[in-house]
């Protein structure tokens, strides 16, 4: 076999050098040493020494309410629509054009349905900041869920998110929030420069907001496409502090008087996802 030429050896040597340098840089970057903190954990005094304690980051979110059941009923014949909310509100859309909103007592258009007073209560129960999103499966559109003809301005089947500081739903493991949650996204939360809870209706991450809810939320039409509720895939504004770590997801459904009363139970399922940098 002919001996390799000097030129070939030189090229291979340069390749080997390049690979070695790249490997070193990748390893250093992976270890977080390129920020200049090569000696993290080193003692700074010879007198007392230093004790190191590692606290593992735990990503955990819990839901304290697993069912929103509006029960069984029908729309009063004197009404065009009846609307129900998981925050205990009923709206009567009378045939004569008047609309009234009420709690359980005095509702007229939603006959024999169940009063629902609790939405899905989400709480950051880990020790690291999170972003939160949701997905819907099943009959996630008004036409699939209820059917019938809606007025042009009606969403029909809607979802909203409200910080529990505003919503005040009981059941948080760490006590009810005393401050707004999901703050601090600020300019980091997509291009909208918003903070607080949001439902990005146009796209899952960034993009124009279309009827988004902020703070004590605005209803957005539910769809089978999931959306972010707080933060996104790279920004995690929901803190783990017990004083500001929760929100409530409420559902609103509007039933037209011409919706078919089949007697068949219909449903959809919401699944939430929590992401952290840990």
Partner 1 sequence: MIETVAKKKGVPEAEELPAKIVLVILILVIVIGVFSIALTLTSPHFKQPEPQFISGGEVSIQLIPPPSTEQQETES
Residues in touch with partner 1 (CB under 8 A): 1, 3-4, 8-9, 12-13, 15-16, 19-20, 22-23, 26-27, 30, 59-63, 65-77, 86, 111, 113, 120, 122, 133-134, 145-146, 233, 249, 251, 253, 255, 259-278
Least distance to partner 1, CB of residue 262, Å? 6
User: CB of 229 within 8 A of CB of 197?
Assistant: yes
* 95 vs 208, beta carbon nearer partner 1: 95
User: CB of 229 within 8 A of CB of 120?
Assistant: no
* 47 vs 264, beta carbon nearer partner 1: 264
d(CA 128, CA 56): 9
Least distance to partner 1, CB of residue 239, Å? 17
Least distance to partner 1, CB of residue 45, Å? 31
Least distance to partner 1, CB of residue 275, Å? 4
Q: How many CB atoms lie within 10 A of CB 276?
A: 20
* 209 vs 248, beta carbon nearer partner 1: 248
User: CB of 237 within 8 A of CB of 153?
Assistant: no
Least distance to partner 1, CB of residue 194, Å? 21
* 134 vs 197, beta carbon nearer partner 1: 134
d(CA 83, CA 226): 24
User: CB of 114 within 8 A of CB of 88?
Assistant: no
List, in sequence order, every residue forming a beta bridge with 228; answer none if it has no partner.
133
User: CB of 107 within 8 A of CB of 250?
Assistant: no
User: CB of 222 within 8 A of CB of 159?
Assistant: yes
* 72 vs 193, beta carbon nearer partner 1: 72
* 17 vs 43, beta carbon nearer partner 1: 17
Q: Report angle CA 53, 57, 62 to the nearest 5 degrees.
A: 140
User: CB of 204 within 8 A of CB of 226?
Assistant: yes
CB neighbour class for 124 (10 Å; exposed up to 12, middle 13-18, buried from 19): buried
Least distance to partner 1, CB of residue 67, Å? 5
Least distance to partner 1, CB of residue 214, Å? 21
* 71 vs 207, beta carbon nearer partner 1: 71
């Amino acid at each position: 076999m002919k001996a390799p030429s000097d030129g070939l050896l030189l090229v291979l040597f340069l390749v080997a050098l390049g690979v070695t340098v790249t490997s070193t840089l990748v390893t250093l970057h992976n270890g977080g040493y390129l920020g200049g903190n090569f000696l993290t954990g080193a003692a700074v005094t010879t007198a007392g020494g230093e004790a190191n304690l590692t606290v593992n980051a735990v990503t955990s979110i819990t839901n304290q309410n697993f069912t929103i059941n509006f029960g069984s009923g029908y729309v009063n014949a004197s009404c065009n629509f009846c609307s129900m909310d998981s925050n205990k509100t009923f709206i009567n859309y009378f045939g004569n054009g008047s609309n009234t909103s009420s709690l359980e007592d005095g509702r007229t258009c939603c006959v024999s349905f169940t009063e629902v007073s609790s939405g899905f209560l989400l709480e950051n129960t880990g020790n690291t900041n999170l972003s939160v999103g949701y997905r819907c499966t099943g009959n996630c559109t008004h036409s699939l869920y209820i059917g019938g003809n809606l007025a042009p301005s009606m969403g029909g089947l809607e979802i909203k998110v409200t910080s529990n500081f505003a919503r005040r739903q009981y059941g948080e493991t760490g006590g009810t929030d005393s401050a707004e949650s999901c703050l601090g996204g600020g300019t980091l939360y997509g291009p909208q420069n918003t903070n607080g809870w949001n439902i990005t209706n146009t796209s899952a991450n960034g993009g124009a907001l279309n009827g988004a809810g902020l703070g004590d939320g605005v209803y957005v039409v539910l769809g089978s496409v999931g959306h972010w509720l707080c933060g996104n895939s790279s920004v995690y504004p929901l803190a783990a502090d017990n004083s500001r770590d929760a929100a409530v997801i409420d559902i609103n459904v509007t039933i037209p008087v011409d919706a078919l009363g089949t007697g068949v139970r219909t449903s959809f399922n919401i699944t939430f996802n929590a992401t952290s940098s840990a």
